[in-house]
Amino acid sequence: MFHVEHMKCALSVLFLAIFVLTGCNKPDPNAYRQDPIFLDYQSQLAATAALFDTQAKQRDEILKELASSHPQTGGAAIHRKRVAEAEARLRNLEQQLKYWNIRLESRGKEAQLEYLEAKKNKKTWPDQAAVDSYNVQKRLRLSKMVWDHKDRIEQMKKADQEKAKPKPE
């Protein structure tokens, strides 16, 4: 009797191991949430939303100042100009919010398709080359657009110093 009970236990452990090893091949339905580019887009969206909220608060404060200013003084004209500028910034931020929402949705679909294709071809996901390319493009997009002669000379000096350093072996 004792031997039969051990055999049942061993067989059940064997079947359980087979089911666990073969049953884990189901693709992740939300793999895009692990994509670094998707996560970066989410952070950009959150930062833009926070900036939109602060700009809306500043506009409300300017509107209060406009309501309390006297029409015959120059302060009312200045406040109206500041209100127009604040509303223009809010429109710009609202467009950015729409952009990031659309970009986030499209990247989610794109990342999910990349994940499924990588899983089908048994490749690693996310593709590190694509992530590195995105980071380079982002750095270039966010970099200073004004070419400064002094900064360029300093960069060249640093590069020359790096080349002149002996490499440790």
pLDDT tens digits along 30-59: 888 899 999 999 999 999 999 999 999 999
How much is the average pLDDT of 13-35?
74
* Separation of alpha carbons 120 and 129, rounded Å: 19
Domain for residue 61, yes or no?
yes
**Residue 108 burial (CB count, 10 A):** 18
| pTM of the model as a whole | 0.69
**Residue 54 burial (CB count, 10 A):** 10
Q: How many domains does the chain have?
A: 1
Domain for residue 136, yes or no?
no
Tell me which of 61-70, 80-89, 113-122, 126-135 is least confident: 61-70
Domain for residue 23, yes or no?
no
79 within 8 A of 62, measured Cβ to Cβ: yes
Residue 84: which domain range?
A: 28-128
